[in-house]
Chain A
Amino acid sequence: MSAAAGVALGVIGGAIRISTPFLFVSLGECLTEKSGRVNLGLEGTLVMGAMAAYGVSYLSGSPWLGVLTAGAAGLVLGALHAWLCARPRVNDVAVGIALMLFGVGLAFFLGKPLIGPSAPHLPAFSAGWWSGSAQVRSALQINALFVIGLVATVAVRFVLARTRWGLIIRTVGESGDAARAMGYDVARVRLLATMAGGALAGVGGSFLSLFYPGSWNEGLSSGQGLMAVALVIFARWDPLRCLAASLLFGGASALGPALQSVGVTSGYYLFNAAPYALTLAIIIATSSRDRALHGQPAELRVAK
């Protein structure tokens, strides 16, 4: 296999493998932000989800029970965020940052005994069955959660565009006044959207500990949750574009290791910065000096 094909394979494989947690967190944040609220705490939710999933999978032997627990943990953290934000004179961003640190800290505290023991992993299948090469087959491992993520992308998009819930969420996110005038309880809609977003982010965390990298330790996330929140802006609040952005980001993240695997070792750390450089470049290229972001829910203001 040529070096170029090897790198391409590595990048494609990486896109599938690394993108999953980004996809879940960005979908969750997209849903929450569509209702007019920012949840910066999803990094904490992600880590909490990873820890909870690992612990439950280890204790029960069922990784899927772990995934459900991760979702439930995300639901609870989302509810906490929404409840705090609905108090008078409380700022979304400050609460989000506090809950991010809280989630990460709590996960480290509860997860101490889980560093070391090995928990059952989530099942995966290989999309490389056609190839005789073991390298190809292992690179194209597709985890069941990635498939669930694809389904969730379509589902979130469908819910937002075509259902009663979606219409209410968008109304609340675009104009709280209009929603109130129609008799909707804005705080309640945001509570539910924040909880659903938290649940998705928690599930994303389970992927980290139960598939890739596939163990629980304190360096597991390293800011992936925060980056995913930024991806939502990059994706202009569209679930399909969240998927595209996650795949792009995942692929770029795999560039360094892929180059290394074919023997290009110089600039390894530089290539590891590729996703961030790429994100910055695209954000700059698609921004305008005097134009507001297209697609941004009107109720979404940083200082509220």
Chain B
Amino acid sequence: MSLAGADTDDIATVQLAVPPALEAIGLSKSFGSMRALDDVSLVLERGTVHALLGENGAGKSTLVKCIMGYYRADAGRVSVDGAPARIGSPRDAAALGIGMVYQHFTLVDAMTVAENLVLARRQHPFVFDWAAERTAIAAFMEKMPFQLDPARPVRTLAAGEKQKLEILKQLYLGSSIVILDEPTSVLTPAEADEVLGLLRGMVKDGRLTVLMISHKFREVMQFADEVTVLRRGRLAGRGRVADLDPDAMARMMVGDEPPRATGARQARPRGDVVLRVDSLTAHDDLGMAAVSELRLEVRAGEIVGIAGVSGNGQEELVEVLAGQREPRGGMIHVSGVGYLAGRAQMRTLMVRCLPDEPLRNACVGTMSVAENIGFRRFDRRPFRWAGALVSKGALRRHARALIKEFGIRTPGPDAPISGLSGGNVQRAVLARELSEDVALLVASNPCFGLDFAAVAEIRTRIMEARNRGTAVLLISADLDEIFALADRIVVMSDGRAVHETPIERADLGVIGRHMAGHA
């Protein structure tokens, strides 16, 4: 459009009608028979923070990946600054000034901050002058609202710092539109506020326009200007955040589904100590101390929630309890017996586990649902047969009963478990682990990546186990989950238990500071 010769009125009109920075019109995308995205439109105004809200599986990631050219949409189009844009790959998107920060960091851990920034750039000289690159990056950092040492290996950065580096990377690349996929999912509340505050500051300075995927109302209310809500692949609503409240957004997100309740907590007398961990030390895969001198007790009929930023030793602790990692020092007792996490001992002491990534840590993907459900008991009666044989029929019957009881959606007991959805894999593991009496249940991020219905159900099962007298150790990166379930909260930071509080006196601010290691 030419402004030459236009009078002042025309200029004013043009300025008023700033086209949206990014517009997606009627995007649809199917994977096989599943319609992941159905005629969804989104308008991202320049100079705003726009939240894209929805449950897991609502199509948020699919939508932004279609916009970024990561997927090719089946129907619909995208325009940038009012002009139709053909985006066939993330490279095309970058050329239009659109950058994306993925939920799982796309940083290369083995390289330094400077190498990661240079790597992301479009043009590279054939031979790098790393000294000059570092000087240039230091100069770039000076102009940024936050800094990182260019020489630090990314491996040594905390999750919050990695997220900042991802954002710095987009600014370094000169992106004017940044799309973030759940940018705070691995951050402490304080880190999340800091990162989102910085982003908002840059948007207000006119440096950026932000589209942020989230499912946290608090963040949306506090940091976003506008919101688009998706439900089951369709547009469920949109509007200015100022005009909406969390209830309205929640209704858009979940539609007419009945309210979800976590099983009620029943008052119980103080139980005996079931799990006692004394000065436990364990190393990570790099041989660094991950768990240091950890002390912990879990009593019968209580849920102890381990809060902490992921990567502070929780994973290694679970692996030690599950028998996947050898401890380097300390003692673990279960019901007063020295615990070595062998299979026979787990059976006699009734220890059960819901690890992270159940498909990888608790299942054999290519084996059937029935076989996976039978792992704990296939070599016992009634499954053992004629001394050394395993009765497939008995396993199948047993599985059928549990599939019904736990509502596992599967084509049948003989289907390979890897074909099930995440929620149903977790239900199958839950069926295996909770179908008998359990003295100690170790659950690590049991609801990660599941939809609302599955989350409610799995939390209810855990609460019911507690009400029956099971001692539950719940490790979760999701503070809401810990607050919903735990009787007692222990904060883990740098491999140690740094803070402990009963749920009645738990304070989010205090816990957040301990998680961040500033207390």
User: Which of B256-264, B283-291, B443-451 contacts the other chain?
Assistant: B283-291
Instruction: List CB contacts (< 8 Å) of B107-126 with chain A.
Output: 107-111, 115, 118-120, 124-126
Bound CA–CA A178/B107 (angstroms): 6
Q: Which of B94, B106, B128 contacts A163 (CB 8 A)?
A: B128
Bound CA–CA A289/B107 (angstroms): 28
Q: Which of A162, A174, A178, A290 contacts B287 (CB 8 A)?
A: A290
Given contacts A171-B119, A183-B90, A290-B283, contact A164 B126 (CB under 8 A): yes
A178 touching B128, Cβ below 8 Å: no
Closest to A175 in B: B108
Q: Which of B94, B110, B124 contacts A164 (CB 8 A)?
A: B124
* B90 contact set on A, CB distance < 8 A: 181-183
Distance from A244 Cβ to chain B, minimum over Cβ atoms (Å): 22
Q: Mark A260-304, 1 if CB is under 8 A from B, else 0.
A: 000000000000000000000000000011111010011000000
B128 touching A298, Cβ below 8 Å: no
A175 touching B106, Cβ below 8 Å: yes
Distance from A171 Cβ to chain B, minimum over Cβ atoms (Å): 6
* A291 contact set on B, CB distance < 8 A: 283, 285-287
* A115 contact set on B, CB distance < 8 A: none
Bound CA–CA A290/B325 (angstroms): 8
Given contacts A288-B287, A292-B286, contact A163 B108 (CB under 8 A): no
* B94 contact set on A, CB distance < 8 A: 183
How many interface residues does chain A have, given as a range? 20 to 34
Bound CA–CA A292/B285 (angstroms): 5
A174 touching B285, Cβ below 8 Å: no
Bound CA–CA A162/B126 (angstroms): 8
Bound CA–CA A292/B155 (angstroms): 14
B111 touching A174, Cβ below 8 Å: yes
Q: Which of A171, A290, A297 contacts B328 (CB 8 A)?
A: A290
B127 at the interface (CB under 8 A from A): yes
B128 touching A170, Cβ below 8 Å: no
Bound CA–CA A92/B90 (angstroms): 28
B108 touching A174, Cβ below 8 Å: yes
Given contacts A164-B126, A164-B128, A182-B119, contact A171 B91 (CB under 8 A): no
* A170 contact set on B, CB distance < 8 A: 108, 110-111
B91 touching A167, Cβ below 8 Å: no
Bound CA–CA A162/B108 (angstroms): 16
Bound CA–CA A174/B153 (angstroms): 13
A167 touching B118, Cβ below 8 Å: yes
Given contacts A162-B128, A290-B326, contact A175 B109 (CB under 8 A): yes
Q: For A164, A165, A288, A292, which residue has the most chain B Cβ atoms within 10 angstroms?
A: A164
* B100 contact set on A, CB distance < 8 A: 181
Q: Mark B451-480, 1 if CB is under 8 A from A, else 0.
A: 000000000000000000000000000000
* A164 contact set on B, CB distance < 8 A: 124-128
B119 touching A162, Cβ below 8 Å: no
* A182 contact set on B, CB distance < 8 A: 90, 106, 119-120
B483 at the interface (CB under 8 A from A): no
Q: For B115, B118, B127, which residue has the most chain A Cβ atoms within 10 angstroms?
A: B127
B146 at the interface (CB under 8 A from A): no
Bound CA–CA A182/B94 (angstroms): 9
* A297 contact set on B, CB distance < 8 A: 110
Bound CA–CA A297/B108 (angstroms): 11
B283 touching A174, Cβ below 8 Å: no
Q: Mark B64-107, 1 if CB is under 8 A from A, else 0.
A: 00000000000000000000000001110010000010101011
Bound CA–CA A45/B153 (angstroms): 37
Closest to B92 in A: A183
A167 touching B106, Cβ below 8 Å: no
Q: Mark A206-221, 1 if CB is under 8 A from B, else 0.
A: 0000000000000000
Instruction: List CB contacts (< 8 Å) of A165-203 with chain B.
Output: 165, 167, 170-171, 174-175, 177-178, 181-183
Closest to A181 in B: B106
* B140 contact set on A, CB distance < 8 A: none
Distance from A296 Cβ to chain B, minimum over Cβ atoms (Å): 9
* B91 contact set on A, CB distance < 8 A: 183
Instruction: List CB contacts (< 8 Å) of A81-132 with chain B.
Output: none
Q: Which of A167, A181, A183, A294 contacts B115 (CB 8 A)?
A: A167
* B119 contact set on A, CB distance < 8 A: 167, 171, 178, 182
A178 touching B106, Cβ below 8 Å: yes
Q: Mark B268-308, 1 if CB is under 8 A from A, else 0.
A: 00000000000000010111000000000000000000000
Bound CA–CA A187/B463 (angstroms): 47
Bound CA–CA A162/B131 (angstroms): 11
Distance from A109 Cβ to chain B, minimum over Cβ atoms (Å): 38
Bound CA–CA A183/B173 (angstroms): 14
Bound CA–CA A292/B288 (angstroms): 11
Closest to A290 in B: B283
B385 at the interface (CB under 8 A from A): no
Distance from B88 Cβ to chain A, minimum over Cβ atoms (Å): 11
Q: Which of A165, A171, A288, A289 contacts B108 (CB 8 A)?
A: A171
Distance from A213 Cβ to chain B, minimum over Cβ atoms (Å): 39
Distance from B89 Cβ to chain A, minimum over Cβ atoms (Å): 6
Pairs A-B, 4 closest by C-beta atoms: A291-B287, A183-B91, A164-B124, A181-B106
Q: Known contacts A178-B119, A183-B89, A290-B325; can you find 4 more A-B pairs with CB under 8 A?
A: A167-B124, A171-B111, A291-B287, A292-B286
Subset of 21 A-B contacts with CB under 8 Å: A167-B118, A167-B124, A170-B110, A171-B111, A171-B119, A175-B106, A175-B109, A177-B102, A177-B104, A178-B107, A178-B108, A181-B90, A181-B100, A181-B102, A182-B106, A182-B119, A183-B91, A288-B287, A290-B285, A290-B287, A294-B286
